[in-house]
Structure 1
Amino acid sequence: MRLSWSSASIPDSHGDVERAVIGGTICMIPCPAKAIVLIDGEHYPDVVTGALRSLASSYLVVGAVFLGGTEKIKGSDLEKEAEKLYGIPVLFGREPEAALGEGIRRWTPDCIVDLSDEPVLGYQQRFRLVSHALAANVAYLGSDFHFNPPRLERVAQAPSLSIIGTAKRVGKTALSGYVARRLQESLAGSPGQGVVVVAMGRGGPSVPEVVDGLDHALSSEELLEWSRQGRHAASDHFEDAALSRVTTIGCRRCGGGLAGQPFVSNVVEGVRLANGLAPAMLILEGSGASIPPVYTDARLCVAGANQPLDYVVGYLGLYRLLVSDAVVLAMAEEPLASRDKVKDLIDRMQRERPDMPVVPVVFRPRPLDDIQGRVVAFFCTAPGVQLPVLRRHLEEVHGCRVVLVSGNLADRRLLRKDLEAPQMDRVDTVLTEIKAAAVDVVVEEAACRDLPVVFVDNDPQEVPPGKVGDLNQVVADLAGLARERYRG
């Protein structure tokens, strides 16, 4: 990608700093920046040393990582001759990521400057190196690209856990609600607010707002009233408050970078608001593949087994894995994902992070009220291939009769057509998730028909090769880790 740069020097405690405005994002790089260069043997050494001289005005090159290739290298023992050839210390390694990691630990650079190219360094390998650099909080740049680690503000004044995702609709909000309930139960009787969830979304409020789900259950009538006032009453913070009975703070964000940095957000202000509630634990909820721009003590990543493999363990999905402490692999069932694909994903994630627990789960609808014997219409955002499974679960486990099921909450045109279906005349209860057009379309229509609305949560259930209890253990471990890191 070609970037438009505007730069100026400003004073900083570390000396001059180059400020680059990239698509509205301000990137702070010390000038001269301490840099590691990536080099290869497809370039003649004198070409590389010439490039190093050209970098000298902006970068203090402290070392190099040799990525491979020997076509342009004349000597027989490159590792012995490398420092003499290039004039700087050079690291070698079978695995470029390991060599880069060693270089970062040894030289603590501000950035990585990529002087390599095809055929030694292709697209996939380059994204792997970018992910590892960003995970070490080091910028990565080349001739026409520049990746910065997301800027995370340290503002939380309580132990904190963020829940991030590799995409939209992978179950972050359902997991966030589940985690909030488990932790709220464990904190029962403790002083203070207990758990506070800070959620950011593309429909969040312009000023962070508190929604109290702790004192009473939010009703469909309340959400509808807020919707009629012009608020997005199906935003994640309303969903969390209504379904999990915790205090939530709603925030907004616009845009999302490849590494998850929102272009604009008010999440920092939201966390400051949360601090005033004296929470025992803060949960920060990501939006889509965007990461809350606030430092948290622990991090849970939610990935979808239905996603392409490279979206999870390649590109900058790998970055999200590298900076997380545990993974929930959602939608780990056919026809969304085969058993072989689920196993392959788990294997590949654990190759990247052997120490990290991965819990495969599926989601099943759980109405908040008793619907035994009811004739219902169910509205959700699930993929079409999953709707028969959800219908069967509602009928077999909750004892209702489902005459209409729609996965079109995120498509208002199709949703309105579903609401006009003749089956709606037989319905005595409307079931809906709190997402997308749930309130302003579905609850509004239910009110017009004088039908009661029952909100539906999505409970995670472990599936093989996981086992029952794995998720609760991960939640407890993450909470303990967050407290330990916060104290220490």
Structure 2
Amino acid sequence: MIDKKLFRSVHLDDLQFKGFNGKRVLCLVDGDHYPPVVKWTIEELEKSGGKVVALVFLGGTEKIRVSSKDLKDIFDLRVYLRKSRLDDSISFLVEALEEENPDIVLDLSDEPIVDYWKRFKIGSRVLEMGIDYIGSDFWFKPPVEDEVLNKPSISVIGTGKRIGKTAIGVTVARLVKEELFDPVVLCMGRGGPPEPEVIDPEKIDLEVDTLIDVAERGRHAASDYWEDALLSQVSTIGCRRCGGGMAGNPFSSNVLEGGGIANELSQDFVITEGSGPTFPPVKTDKKIVVIGAKQPLEKILSFFGEYRIRVADLAIITMCEKPYVDDEKIEKIEKGILKINPDLDVVKTVFRPQPLDEVARRDVFVATTASDQSNKSIKAYLEEEYGCRVKEISNNLSNRIKLKKDLNRSISSCDILLTEIKAASIDVAAKKAKKEGLEIVFLHNRPVPVDGSIDELNEAILSLCKKAHKSFRRGEN
């Protein structure tokens, strides 16, 4: 005799479906499935402990005559059906989510009614509303937002790596400290410490020898939290994370512990900073999303780039200049962002190097993670604004072997190593420069608006921080 279990979905037997017990489930269905098959699956689902509250019909007429009455008669459930072909199916879904308030959206549709692109659009809207989105072989969860912080807060998140998120985070921290509050930065990274570590610039001498000593003890001295503390002169809590989900969840981190430490410090405002496209797993009052203009349009505006734009309160687009991008792409990015989130403030920026110490009339070796496409503008800007002579630029901070070759080739002819605090900047570049007797100066990449003034960029950031403070005081967080 054939085992009847063979006729059941393998997915329904999966251990993750234990999470269905007592949960409210809204199902997405289409007309390319024969209705009794869909009904059979829903019955099996309810046997697994889930409570199906409604269906959203996404389209298709191959195996079904479409009318709300017919569908309700078949499934004996509330059915949401578009009134015309002109209706936006995503907006229609959002309406159903608001009315039914499910815990889980289960996608029982398939191509051609719902393809890969549409699935991500659906997922972005579902996750934005704090709801799990699952299907036959996927389970997307909204990024964790633990309400651990007991102070007003803002987060800086990104759509990828190497887009200048830490530079924006440093800028935000500097501004808040100068103009508004006494901030602390809660930072996480792939090279963070095993226990959250507080770096207080008033208690620790943040100089080259300190960071070299950290590196020689086997730790990552160029981790974002050291960069944040040194460049902003704001107390920073360094945390670690491992893994990064598509929607922004880390697989593991010690950020919640770091958040508890932030609560105990004297500072009155918290700035959390993500790592690459991964979110800190703490709830904040407002969000800034950093978007690299050189990223592929699909990554910015589709997949779960759309989700990041939807949950943000301010978008800062970086690297808005040739040779990274042309004007046409910048326009597409801005229009795409505003189509996704029409209420979002958008600021277009470029980065300009800002040495933290005097470099005038000196021969300089520049070490950066920027691509060699930017070398011409880096050299011109440093020489014109700061009066130094740029003798060599290495774009290989993230490639230790190539960086060593660049340093060996030309550092001895220079007076100063001017370096970002990234990747191998301390354990390779700074150690080599110190051995050769060079002065070491750290570099901040300062965001400068493409349209408008620095004051307008600063005001956009400060205005959002003020709103975060008000939201917290009103209990809206």
TM score, norm. by length of structure 2:
0.93
Q: Cα 1:309–1:406, aligned 2, differ >3 Å: closer, same or farther?
A: same
Q: Which residue does the alignment assign to 2:227?
A: 239
| 1:32 shift after superposition | 2.8
Indicate the RMSD between aligned Cα atoms, in angstroms: 1.8
Q: Which residue does the alignment assign to 2:434?
A: 447
The DSSP-based 3-state class of the residue aligned with 1:395 is: helix
Q: Cα 1:397–1:349, aligned 2, differ >3 Å: closer, same or farther?
A: same
1:436 paired to 2:423: yes
1:316 paired to 2:309: no
1:41 paired to 2:28: no
Aligned equivalent of 2:274, options 276, 286, 290: 286
* One-letter amino acid of the structure 1 residue matched with residue 80 of structure 2: L
Distance 2:70 2:362 in 1: 79
* One-letter amino acid of the structure 2 residue matched with residue 266 of structure 1: N
Q: Which residue does the alignment assign to 2:457?
A: 471
Distance 2:241 2:199 in 1: 18
Distance 1:239 1:144 in 2: 40
C-alpha contact 1:326 1:357 (8 A) present in aligned 2: yes
The DSSP-based 3-state class of the residue aligned with 1:289 is: coil
Structure 2: which 5+ residue stretches go unaligned? 1-9
Distance 1:387 1:176 in 2: 23
| 1:301 shift after superposition | 0.7
Moved more, 143-152 or 44-53: 44-53
- Counterparts of 1:18-417 in structure 2, within 5 Å, are 29=19, 31-57=21-47, 58-74=49-65, 78-93=67-82, 94-187=87-180, 194-214=182-202, 218-417=206-405
C-alpha contact 1:3 1:145 (8 A) present in aligned 2: no
C-alpha contact 2:12 2:45 (8 A) present in aligned 1: no
C-alpha contact 1:213 1:244 (8 A) present in aligned 2: no
Q: Which residue does the alignment assign to 1:24?
A: none
Q: Cα 1:43–1:7, aligned 2, differ >3 Å: closer, same or farther?
A: closer
Q: Which residue does the alignment assign to 1:13?
A: none
* One-letter amino acid of the structure 1 residue matched with residue 128 of structure 2: A
Q: Cα 1:5–1:163, aligned 2, differ >3 Å: closer, same or farther?
A: farther
| 1:81 shift after superposition | 3.3
C-alpha contact 1:306 1:337 (8 A) present in aligned 2: yes
Distance 2:450 2:205 in 1: 31
Q: Which residue does the alignment assign to 1:481?
A: 467
* One-letter amino acid of the structure 1 residue matched with residue 414 of structure 2: V
| 1:278 shift after superposition | 2.5
* One-letter amino acid of the structure 2 residue matched with residue 83 of structure 1: K
Distance 1:5 1:203 in 2: 38
The DSSP-based 3-state class of the residue aligned with 1:234 is: coil
* One-letter amino acid of the structure 1 residue matched with residue 340 of structure 2: E
Distance 1:395 1:3 in 2: 62
Same amino acid, percent of matched pairs: 42
Distance 2:20 2:28 in 1: 19
Distance 1:82 1:329 in 2: 46
Structure 1: which 5+ residue stretches go unaligned? 9-17, 20-28
Distance 1:364 1:448 in 2: 29
| 1:214 shift after superposition | 4.2
Distance 1:4 1:196 in 2: 46
C-alpha contact 1:45 1:73 (8 A) present in aligned 2: yes
C-alpha contact 2:411 2:433 (8 A) present in aligned 1: no
C-alpha contact 2:94 2:125 (8 A) present in aligned 1: yes
Distance 2:250 2:211 in 1: 27
| 1:6 shift after superposition | 6.6
C-alpha contact 1:376 1:431 (8 A) present in aligned 2: yes
Q: Cα 1:118–1:163, aligned 2, differ >3 Å: closer, same or farther?
A: same
* One-letter amino acid of the structure 2 residue matched with residue 361 of structure 1: T
Q: Which residue does the alignment assign to 2:4?
A: none
* One-letter amino acid of the structure 1 residue matched with residue 276 of structure 2: G
After superposition, the C-alpha distances for 1:89-135 in whole angstroms (9 at most, x for unaligned) are 11134222211211111011010010100000000000110111111
C-alpha contact 2:412 2:436 (8 A) present in aligned 1: no
Distance 1:381 1:406 in 2: 8
C-alpha contact 1:64 1:88 (8 A) present in aligned 2: yes
Q: How many residues align?
A: 460
After superposition, the C-alpha distances for 1:11-70 in whole angstroms (9 at most, x for unaligned) are xxxxxxx65xxxxxxxxx451321111011112222222222222213211111111112
Structure 1 residue ranges (4+ consecutive) displaced by more than 4 angstroms after TM superposition: 2-6, 214-217
Moved more, 44-53 or 428-437: 44-53
Distance 2:431 2:461 in 1: 36
Q: Which residue does the alignment assign to 1:11?
A: none
| 1:157 shift after superposition | 1.4
C-alpha contact 1:391 1:402 (8 A) present in aligned 2: yes
* One-letter amino acid of the structure 2 residue matched with residue 209 of structure 1: E
Distance 1:101 1:125 in 2: 14
| 1:161 shift after superposition | 0.8
Q: Which residue does the alignment assign to 2:414?
A: 427
Distance 1:270 1:324 in 2: 23
The DSSP-based 3-state class of the residue aligned with 2:411 is: helix
Q: Cα 1:212–1:365, aligned 2, differ >3 Å: closer, same or farther?
A: same
C-alpha contact 1:209 1:250 (8 A) present in aligned 2: yes
After superposition, the C-alpha distances for 1:199-225 in whole angstroms (9 at most, x for unaligned) are 101111001111112467621121112
| 1:379 shift after superposition | 0.3
Distance 2:96 2:65 in 1: 25
| 1:467 shift after superposition | 5.1
The DSSP-based 3-state class of the residue aligned with 1:471 is: helix
After superposition, the C-alpha distances for 1:336-361 in whole angstroms (9 at most, x for unaligned) are 11111011011011001000011111
Q: Which residue does the alignment assign to 1:15?
A: none
